[in-house]
């Protein structure tokens, strides 16, 4: 499954491309910002449907290299709010707006690595790592 970006992220990626072509200087975001969240869910994850756990992210949430964003502060954990099999994840801002969707979840070989995909309400869900690789 492909990772999907919010329109504002797509627009800004295109602006960065344009600025690179026009030999402009890039400016890194400023200000303190607010912590976002990583929402772990079932294959039906969408809005409030299929949510198994919501994990508050550190601020900043990711470090970046040329093509890979790596989740910071791992391991991260939260108490599961529902029972199910984890399959997808979303990154949301502090207002709950989905910024990145379609992230895969599993115990290895996925975007978001968790200790177990079998989640029961009330158990601790632990994220051990997470990466987003920018496609060519």
Q: Please, what is the average pLDDT of the chain?
A: 89
User: How many percent of the chain have pLDDT more than 70?
Assistant: 98
Q: Which residues pair with 46 in a beta bridge?
A: 49
The stretch 37-57 carries a mean pLDDT of 95
pLDDT top residue among 87 and 21: 87
Per residue in 95-112, pLDDT (tens digit) is: 898 989 999 999 999 999
The stretch 75-91 carries a mean pLDDT of 97
What is the pTM (predicted TM-score) of this model?
A: 0.86
Task: Give the Cβ contact number of residue 9 at 10 Å.
Answer: 13
Distance CA 89, CA 115 (A): 14
Residue found under tokens 């976002």: 36
Per residue in 4-46, pLDDT (tens digit) is: 888 888 878 777 767 777 787 777 777 777 889 999 999 999 9
Q: How many residues does the chain have?
A: 136
Six token digits for residue 15: 């602006």
């Amino acid at each position: 499954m492909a990772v999907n970006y919010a329109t504002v992220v797509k627009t800004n990626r295109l602006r960065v491309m344009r600025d690179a072509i026009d030999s402009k200087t890039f400016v890194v975001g400023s200000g303190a910002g607010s912590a976002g969240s990583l929402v772990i869910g079932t294959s039906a994850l969408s809005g409030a449907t299929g949510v198994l756990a919501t994990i508050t992210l550190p601020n900043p949430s990711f470090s970046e290299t040329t093509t890979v964003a790596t989740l910071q502060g791992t391991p991260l954990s939260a108490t599961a709010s529902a029972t199910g099999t984890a399959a997808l994840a979303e990154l949301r801002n502090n207002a709950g707006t989905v910024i990145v969707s379609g992230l895969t979840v599993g115990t290895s070989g996925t975007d978001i690595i968790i200790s177990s995909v079998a989640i029961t309400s009330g158990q601790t869900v632990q994220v051990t790592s997470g990466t987003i690789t920018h496609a060519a």
